[in-house]
A = this chain, B = another copy of it.
Amino acid sequence: MSVPKSHPRYLSLRTRDIIVRGVEKGVTSVHGLLAHGRGEAFDYMIGEKTTAKARKQIKRAAKLLLKAKNPVISVNGNVAALCAREIVELSKIIPAKLEVNIFHKSKNSKEFLGYENLKNFHKSRKREQNIRRWLIKHGAKEVLMPGKGIVKYIEHNRRFCNPDGIAKADVVFVPLEDGDRCEALIKMGKKVITIDLNAKSRTAKFATITIVDNITRALPLLIKEIKNPH
């Protein structure tokens, strides 16, 4: 859809189209679209501007990422669709590893029984590969994939991570994360930084640092802060 720049909802509509294209490219899931819609509503309520509090959290996040021994950036379909270039740049300037991690059924899960799940599993594996390729297309040199590392405290989904990535990370940056996994990472003793527009979400509650902001506004500010910390 071509939206004129003069449209009062221009930025929001353009972002919406970017995420829809993410689905068409096999990078974003349809459930990711729903999550984006929720984010739009919450963003609308904070006035679609980065708040003073978010700016403070961005500074704190920059410090924590620069201080970390093994920082890892966890990338899902929405992050990849919306900010591939920025997330790759961020990984280079910290420096931090990039790891693909999406919400999917795992092979060893108890829920992994029927054909429907098998289909979803293969779809998820393909989407992980698509995200990896998408990040490499945007300049990433190395992208870790979920492997034999285990995120404890979660039964079914997102349990598997990379042994050289999230498994041994001390600080994990997981923008647009779900509550269960954020809680599990914290329980494992890791520090978690997240970006979440819903200030009352479980992710926002559990994370060490929560930046309540639109990722498309917050990432450029975080990059600036890491390049020139004050």
Contact = CB atoms under 8 A, between A and B. Distances in A.
B34 A40 contact: yes
Number of copies of this chain in the oligomer? 2
Q: Is the interface of A mostly helix, strand, loop or mixed?
A: helix
Interface stretch (A16-24, A135-143, A164-172): A16-24
Q: Which one of A30, A40, A41, A198 has the highest number of Cβ atoms from chain B below 10 Å of its Cβ? A: A41
Nearest to A21: B30
A2 B41 contact: no
29 contacts: A2-B111, A19-B34, A20-B30, A20-B31, A20-B34, A23-B30, A30-B30, A30-B33, A33-B33, A33-B34, A33-B37, A34-B34, A34-B36, A34-B37, A34-B40, A35-B37, A36-B37, A37-B37, A37-B38, A37-B40, A37-B41, A38-B38, A38-B40, A38-B41, A39-B41, A40-B41, A41-B41, A41-B42, A41-B198
Given A36-B37, A37-B38, 17 more contacts: A16-B31, A16-B34, A19-B34, A20-B34, A23-B30, A33-B33, A33-B37, A34-B40, A35-B37, A37-B37, A37-B40, A37-B41, A38-B38, A38-B41, A40-B41, A41-B42, A41-B198
Interface of A: 2, 16, 19-20, 23, 30-31, 33-42, 111, 198
